[in-house]
Structure 1
């Protein structure tokens, strides 16, 4: 059953529409990520759920209650901002207590709740410090505790990790996910970082120009993209442009392969998407497709070796696990790439059609 519902939500600023007739149902306790490039409408959607923006059309409901036109303080939502937004003149404990004080809660309740929240984020020993005395990661934890202290029904996170360095981001995103699961709170996470989205989400909403391109689990979004945008925005991808060769065959750069789709009329333009990990230099009974090319470059990435392979006018990316006993091919080497027909996916339109 839906706990948070957005139905027909649209947002326009003057003549420009930034969110187009958006529909989404989120279950209680679900962690949903809005993912997309800058300007795709993800933050505007979040601000409408929070009450900082009012939809031009459509409705927003939380636990069956229409909150479309309610102010933020009447919605029972907690928000964590990208820039922490902590009060610099307040201690950590006072920052966490702020929302509870505004709500007029008794002092004894506030003190107990603040202690609980600081223990939850593992900063109980830093309650008397001020924000400037904390690291970026610690400040964001305090912002998270402040949002959770008021026991919101929905937790909203607006790119909360983008100001942190890579190592801190990795650990803090897992802490956020662990806390969300522990508390069972419904959460919406906004990011442009595909790795963050894939690693923490129950479901991902891929947004493009104010529309949902695809909604699904990380597994489905990555492995079964439904549009060219979803396929190219999530993960690394190679696109093979060619034409149908009859049946389930495709001709690309003068070579013929099998494709994972129903029969196409011969000569019809086709675009095949391939993930780098689908390709291998080693044949196998399942890898019946073979493409011959030339090594353009080799990037050693530690556990993974990424190769760029040129096929006529097309470049394919191939990721293989590092094998200490077998060095990768050198630049200029002729190689054969092998993959299973089911490893690729025919996309919705060829490049030329998508550009029109």
Structure 2
């Protein structure tokens, strides 16, 4: 049995359906990220887990206990918001210890726990300061400490880094992940930032228009996207229209050229038009070679970006991008030049139909 179980969760607001049949099994201590654009339903799921919204139907269980209709306070949930949500009239220590005070803990116990939390978030001397005296990153650390001070069973983080500048975001997300690992708290992180999701997650749930598109590890999501949405939302991807020639051998025609995928294909796919995908970093400028896919193309544009040179080459109706390292000892192709684009069979992905 998974530690956190979400079964057939559905949410409607009047005639609008915000979430369609969300199912998820989360193990104790896992760090899960809900990734998707604004309005995709990720925060709606988070709010239902927290108890801020009631599902239209479905069930939420924590450690085998059905908490679907329990009040937030009874769920042992810690929550970190995008806007910090610190009490401006309370000191840092007061903010961190607030939930413990509400729970009726002894002041000595509260003081000890606050001291532990301040050390954990690397702000041991900031207890008597007020939120307005802290930077944005420091305020979010305090919000994190407040969320975990009561030793929650599940930690929910709703885009906690989106209000911070890029450098602080990178540092704080690393700190959040390290802290989560140290404490072993089952955590769910909501973001629209693919880099954040890929860098800190055990598994990622990619969402779009209230539905789950794909669930997998960061490597699975990036390297093996199943749908067009996942392929285009996570990283940069080249999309090519193709026609299945022989499903048994994985042969696919693109612009009259035959490529091969190592991906299993349904036996009845012969003759079907399918959308193909290949990452820019998987492509090389190379002569055709046995055991490799090779696609003839015409160089359309070249962008010099310093250490990297981005080349765009046209294959009939599609434009394929690839990045090569800047090497002054090797000449770059010229616009209008015919080139061969090489990549492995494993790197040619066939996306699901209707995606």
Q: Does 1:335 align with 2:335?
A: no
Measured after TM superposition, the shift of residue 210 of structure 1 is 1.4
Q: Does 1:248 align with 2:236?
A: no
- What is the alpha-carbon distance in structure 2 between the residues aligned to residue 346 and residue 265 of structure 1? 11
For the Cα contact (< 8 Å) 1:244–1:264, is it kept in 2?
A: no
How many corresponding residue pairs? 351
- What is the alpha-carbon distance in structure 1 between the residues aligned to residue 318 and residue 218 of structure 2? 28
2:160 alignment partner, SS class: coil
2:59 alignment partner, SS class: strand
- What is the alpha-carbon distance in structure 1 between the residues aligned to residue 104 and residue 325 of structure 2? 58
Written as runs of structure 1 = structure 2, the 5 A alignment for 1:51-62 is 51-62=51-62
2:301 is matched with which residue: 272, 291, 297? Answer: 297
In structure 2, the partner of 1:234 is 234
For the Cα contact (< 8 Å) 1:307–1:317, is it kept in 2?
A: yes
Measured after TM superposition, the shift of residue 221 of structure 1 is 1.3
1:126 alignment partner, SS class: coil
- What is the alpha-carbon distance in structure 1 between the residues aligned to residue 111 and residue 136 of structure 2? 25
In structure 2, the partner of 1:259 is 261
Measured after TM superposition, the shift of residue 249 of structure 1 is 2.5
For the Cα contact (< 8 Å) 2:117–2:145, is it kept in 1?
A: yes
Written as runs of structure 1 = structure 2, the 5 A alignment for 1:213-224 is 213-224=213-224
Written as runs of structure 1 = structure 2, the 5 A alignment for 1:163-242 is 163-242=163-242
For the Cα contact (< 8 Å) 1:50–1:72, is it kept in 2?
A: yes
In structure 1, the partner of 2:112 is 112
Q: TM-score, normalised by structure 2?
A: 0.93
Q: Where does the alignment leave 5 or more consecutive residues of structure 1 unmatched?
A: none
- What is the alpha-carbon distance in structure 2 between the residues aligned to residue 265 and residue 201 of structure 1? 35
Measured after TM superposition, the shift of residue 96 of structure 1 is 0.9
Written as runs of structure 1 = structure 2, the 5 A alignment for 1:1-356 is 1-246=1-246, 248-260=250-262, 261-262=264-265, 267-283=271-287, 288-323=292-327, 325-326=329-330, 328-349=332-353
For the Cα contact (< 8 Å) 2:36–2:42, is it kept in 1?
A: yes
- What is the alpha-carbon distance in structure 1 between the residues aligned to residue 245 and residue 27 of structure 2? 45
1:53 alignment partner, SS class: coil
For the Cα contact (< 8 Å) 1:248–1:264, is it kept in 2?
A: no
1:20-44 CA distance string (max 9 Å, x none): 1211111000000111111111000
- What is the alpha-carbon distance in structure 2 between the residues aligned to residue 72 and residue 342 of structure 1? 47
Measured after TM superposition, the shift of residue 193 of structure 1 is 0.9
- What is the alpha-carbon distance in structure 2 between the residues aligned to residue 319 and residue 331 of structure 1? 15
Q: TM-score, normalised by structure 1?
A: 0.93
Aligned CA-pair RMSD: 1.9
Q: Where does the alignment leave 5 or more consecutive residues of structure 2 unmatched?
A: none
Measured after TM superposition, the shift of residue 324 of structure 1 is 5.0
Q: In terms of mean alpha carbon deviation, does 279-288 or 54-63 score higher?
A: 279-288
For the Cα contact (< 8 Å) 2:79–2:157, is it kept in 1?
A: yes
For the Cα contact (< 8 Å) 2:288–2:294, is it kept in 1?
A: no
- What is the alpha-carbon distance in structure 2 between the residues aligned to residue 313 and residue 61 of structure 1? 49
Q: 1:101 to 1:238 in 2, by over 3 A?
A: same
For the Cα contact (< 8 Å) 1:287–1:338, is it kept in 2?
A: no
1:84 alignment partner, SS class: coil
Q: 1:286 to 1:181 in 2, by over 3 A?
A: farther
